[in-house]
């Protein structure tokens, strides 16, 4: 461990001790904080060589929205969900329609408002104006943006309790994240944690227990089952063109896993790509059959990384989780990462063939998703106050 990383850990511990004198410590579940290791971060050369591509983006709805995590793009129309619980239909850069899954809510927009206001994270089109929306707190819904009809397919507690006996009694803070349609009757949902809710994402990241899952749900029967367990902050899900397998981001391990749902390898899981130059978020197919992956933060050779510096020190992380208040974990830790924004393009064989950068974070940071409409790339973010757009080269 470098001197810089050692000094960082010492400074965090000092800050934690100071908080200890004024905050009551929180009880941490036994075994919820574990040691782990990651490969040495990759060098940014070859297909990962820095460029200025992301500094050329145009903004859509700058400072009018926050956290457009997932996007569906159809010509000049964009559908998304935002941090304040809204579902938006955006036409030619203007909000044409907005809806809410939560009823009779007034103040929304903060992390502590999420449980009552909802936080829509995954959105996929079924057909026409019909979409499936996964909300981290409220459940899974079928939404028609034209008629404004909202049909609750599965309330969160019911959804999760059907896939594991008495789940909610054991893990009351499950957090559904992102979803991918297999057909009009089937979809996949990734569940990042069975210990912490969405607003406490940094507790899951620091704990690194690995309770994430991918769940399959059939609409017509209401049946759900778990396809993969033990993922470390399961995130974006994407069916591959072979229709026999899907990939899922294992965010805090900087890798993407592949699981087979058909064919000779049915039921097996393997590593699709590892040691990414950041923590993978959403995965989307491009128009040429490759995959675009947004990276929520970066990791690179020669750059200090606060989280990875503490990977082998579970007791230190457990102490921080017990002492530091949520706002410090949530709002301060993410600012310790470099501002460098990266998205990567990957083949269906798990090879990086290109990357787009904003090295200084001048125009882009923390990209959650890249959507390709053939002419433009559109960029979502879990916290940015805009959607970004870039003409393809």
Residue range 138-167, pLDDT digits in tens:
888 999 999 999 998 865 554 554 444 333
pLDDT at 54: 98
pLDDT at 13: 52
* Residue range 5-14: mean pLDDT, rounded: 52
* Residue range 82-102: mean pLDDT, rounded: 97
Summarised one tens digit per residue, pLDDT across range 233-286 is 999 999 999 899 999 999 999 999 999 999 999 999 999 999 999 999 999 999
pLDDT at 253: 95
pLDDT at 304: 79
pLDDT at 173: 35
Summarised one tens digit per residue, pLDDT across range 302-357 is 887 888 888 999 998 998 888 888 888 888 777 778 899 999 999 999 999 999 99
Which of 96-105, 110-119, 216-225 has the lowest average pLDDT?
216-225
Which of 32-36, 76-80, 208-212, 304-308 has the lowest average pLDDT?
304-308
pLDDT at 8 over 80: no
pLDDT at 167: 33
Which of 123-137, 155-169, 223-237, 280-294 has the lowest average pLDDT?
155-169
pLDDT at 196: 82
Could you tell me the pLDDT band of residue 67, with boundaries at 50, 70 and 90?
Answer: very high
Question: What pTM does this model have?
Answer: 0.89
Could you tell me the pLDDT band of residue 219, with boundaries at 50, 70 and 90?
Answer: confident
- Residue-averaged pLDDT of the chain: 86
Q: Which residue shows structure tokens 């089952």?
A: 225
* Residue range 291-302: mean pLDDT, rounded: 94
pLDDT at 324: 87
* Residue range 111-121: mean pLDDT, rounded: 92
Q: Which residues contact 54 (CB under 8 A, 6 or more apart)?
A: 341, 343, 356, 357, 358, 363, 364, 367, 379, 388, 390
Summarised one tens digit per residue, pLDDT across range 161-178 is 444 433 333 333 344 445
List 142's β-bridge partners, or say none. Answer: 132, 151
Instruction: Quote the percentage of the chain above a pLDDT of 70.
Output: 85
């Amino acid at each position: 461990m470098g001197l810089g990383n050692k000094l960082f850990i010492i400074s965090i511990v000092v800050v934690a001790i100071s908080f200890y004198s004024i905050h009551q410590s929180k009880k941490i579940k036994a075994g919820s904080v574990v040691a782990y290791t990651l490969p040495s971060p990759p060098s940014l050369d070859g297909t990962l060589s820095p460029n200025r591509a992301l500094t050329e983006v145009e903004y859509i709805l700058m400072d009018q929205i926050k956290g457009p995590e997932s996007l569906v793009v159809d010509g000049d129309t964009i559908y998304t969900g935002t941090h304040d619980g809204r579902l938006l239909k955006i036409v030619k850069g203007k909000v044409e329609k907005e809806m809410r899954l939560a009823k009779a809510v007034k103040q929304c927009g903060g992390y502590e408002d999420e449980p009552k206001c909802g936080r829509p994270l995954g959105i996929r089109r079924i057909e026409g104006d019909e979409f499936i929306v996964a909300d981290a707190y409220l459940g899974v819904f079928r939404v028609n943006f034209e008629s404004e009809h909202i049909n609750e397919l599965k309330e969160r507690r019911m959804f999760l309790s059907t896939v594991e006996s008495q789940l909610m009694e054991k893990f009351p803070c499950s957090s559904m994240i992102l979803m991918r349609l297999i057909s009009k009757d089937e979809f996949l949902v990734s569940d990042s944690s069975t210990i912490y809710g969405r607003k406490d994402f940094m507790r899951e990241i620091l704990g690194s227990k690995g309770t994430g899952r991918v769940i399959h749900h059939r609409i017509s029967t209401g049946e759900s089952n778990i396809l993969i367990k033990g993922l470390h902050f399961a995130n974006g899900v994407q069916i591959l063109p072979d229709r026999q397998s899907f990939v899922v981001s294992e965010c805090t391990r900087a890798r993407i896993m592949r699981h087979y749902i058909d064919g000779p390898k049915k039921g097996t899981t393997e590593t699709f790509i590892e040691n990414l130059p950041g923590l993978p978020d959403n995965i989307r197919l491009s128009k040429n059959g490759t995959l675009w992956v947004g990276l929520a933060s970066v990791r690179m050779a020669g750059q200090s990384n606060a989280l990875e510096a503490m990977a082998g020190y579970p007791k230190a992380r457990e102490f921080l989780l017990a002492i530091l208040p949520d706002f410090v974990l949530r709002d301060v830790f993410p600012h310790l990462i470099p501002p460098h924004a990266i998205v990567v393009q990957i083949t269906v064989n798990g090879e990086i063939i290109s990357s787009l950068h904003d090295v200084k974070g001048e125009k882009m940071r923390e990209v959650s998703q890249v959507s390709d409409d053939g002419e433009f790339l559109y960029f979502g973010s879990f916290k940015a106050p805009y959607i970004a757009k870039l003409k393809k080269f």
